[in-house]
Structure 1
Amino acid sequence: MIIWKTQVFHVSLQHHFQCTMNKWFSSLISFIAITGLQAQHPIDRPKLVVSIVVDQLRGDYLQYFSSTFGEKGFKRLMQEGLFYHSVDFGFPNLSQASSTAAIYTGSYPYYNGIIGDTRFDFNTNGEISIVSDEHFMGNYTSNRVSPFALLSSTVGDELKIASQGQGKVYSIAPNAEEAILSGGKYANCAFWLDESNGKWATSTYYKDIPGYVDNYNASDAIGNYPEKQWDQSHAYYNGLPYATSLSTPFSYRFTKTDKDRYTKIKQTSLMNMEVTKLAGRFLENAGFTRNLSSDLLTLTYYAGNYTYNPNQDDYSYEIQDIYYRLDKEIENLLDLIDRKVGLKHTLILLTSTGYYDAVQKPSKKFKPAGEFHPNRCTSLLNMYLMAIYGQGNWVTGYFNQQLFLNKKLIEDKKVDGRELLRHAAEFTNQFSGVQEVTTSAEPHRGMNKNLSGDIFIELQPGWVIVNEKHSEKPQYTREKAIQPPLFIFGENIRKEQVFRPVKATEIAATLCYILRIRPPTACKDFPLQEIITN
Structure 2
Amino acid sequence: MSARKSHPISTRLASVLVVSLATMGILAHAQQTAPRSATAQRPQLVVGIFVEGLSADYINLLRDNFGKDGFNRFIRDGVSIENVDFGPGIDATAATAMLMTGAAPGVNGIPAARVWDNNTKSDYPILLDPAKIGNFTDETFSPGALKVSTVSDEVRISDGGLGLVHSVAPDAQVAIILAGHAGNSGFWLNDTNGKWCTSTFYRDVPAAIAKRNYGVTLASRLDTLAWTPSMALDRYPDLPDYKKLYPFRHTFPARETDRFKAFKTSAPGNREVAAIGLDYITSLKLGTRGVTDMLNLGFNVSPYQYGREADNRIETMDAYL
Greater RCO (Cα-Cα under 8 Å, separation 6 or more): 1
- Residue aligned with 2:148, SS: coil
Matched ranges for 1:437-456 at <5 A: none
For residues 214 and 87 of structure 1, do their structure 2 counterparts lie closer, same or farther at Cα, with a shift above 3 Å needed? farther
Counterpart in the other structure of 2:184: 188
Cα shift at 1:122:
3.2
Counterpart in the other structure of 2:115: 119
- Residue aligned with 1:170, SS: strand
Structure 1 stretches of at least 4 aligned residues deviating more than 6 Å after TM superposition: none
Name the larger-Rg structure. Answer: 1
Aligned length, in residue pairs = 282
Cα shift at 1:216:
2.5
The question of whether the paired residues in 1 share the 8 Å contact of 2:114 and 2:124 is answered with: yes
The question of whether the paired residues in 2 share the 8 Å contact of 1:170 and 1:298 is answered with: yes
Counterpart in the other structure of 2:267: 269
Counterpart in the other structure of 1:76: 73
Counterpart in the other structure of 1:359: none
TM-score normalised by structure 2 residue count:
0.81
The answer to whether residue 295 in structure 2 is matched with residue 297 in structure 1 is yes
Q: Distance between the aligned counterparts of 2:88 and 2:46, measured in 1?
A: 29
Counterpart in the other structure of 1:316: 313
The question of whether the paired residues in 2 share the 8 Å contact of 1:120 and 1:128 is answered with: yes
For residues 272 and 160 of structure 1, do their structure 2 counterparts lie closer, same or farther at Cα, with a shift above 3 Å needed? same
For residues 290 and 64 of structure 1, do their structure 2 counterparts lie closer, same or farther at Cα, with a shift above 3 Å needed? closer
Counterpart in the other structure of 2:45: 48
The answer to whether residue 152 in structure 2 is matched with residue 148 in structure 1 is no
- Residue aligned with 2:191, SS: coil
Cα shift at 1:312:
1.6
Cα shift at 1:159:
2.0
TM-score normalised by structure 1 residue count:
0.50
The question of whether the paired residues in 1 share the 8 Å contact of 2:207 and 2:283 is answered with: no
For residues 261 and 290 of structure 1, do their structure 2 counterparts lie closer, same or farther at Cα, with a shift above 3 Å needed? same
The question of whether the paired residues in 1 share the 8 Å contact of 2:168 and 2:175 is answered with: yes
Counterpart in the other structure of 1:128: 124
The question of whether the paired residues in 1 share the 8 Å contact of 2:208 and 2:276 is answered with: no
Cα shift at 1:125:
1.9
Counterpart in the other structure of 1:423: none
Cα shift at 1:86:
3.5
- More strand by percentage: 1
1:201-221 superposed Cα distances (whole Å, 9 cap, x missing partner): 111111122244212322344
- The one-letter code of the counterpart of 1:125 is K
CA RMSD of superposed structures (Å): 2.1
Cα shift at 1:145:
0.6
Q: Distance between the aligned counterparts of 1:97 and 1:118, measured in 2?
A: 9
Task: Select the residue among 92, 97, 106 that pairs with 1:101.
Answer: 97
Task: Select the residue among 50, 60, 65 that pairs with 2:62.
Answer: 65
Counterpart in the other structure of 1:249: 247
Q: Which runs of 5+ in 1 are unaligned?
A: 1-40, 325-534
For residues 71 and 221 of structure 1, do their structure 2 counterparts lie closer, same or farther at Cα, with a shift above 3 Å needed? farther
For residues 218 and 243 of structure 1, do their structure 2 counterparts lie closer, same or farther at Cα, with a shift above 3 Å needed? farther
For residues 225 and 279 of structure 1, do their structure 2 counterparts lie closer, same or farther at Cα, with a shift above 3 Å needed? same
1:27-58 superposed Cα distances (whole Å, 9 cap, x missing partner): xxxxxxxxxxxxxx979211111111111111
Counterpart in the other structure of 2:11: none
1:68-94 superposed Cα distances (whole Å, 9 cap, x missing partner): 222333223323x22416372522122
Q: Which runs of 5+ in 2 are unaligned?
A: 1-32, 35-39
The answer to whether residue 226 in structure 2 is matched with residue 229 in structure 1 is yes
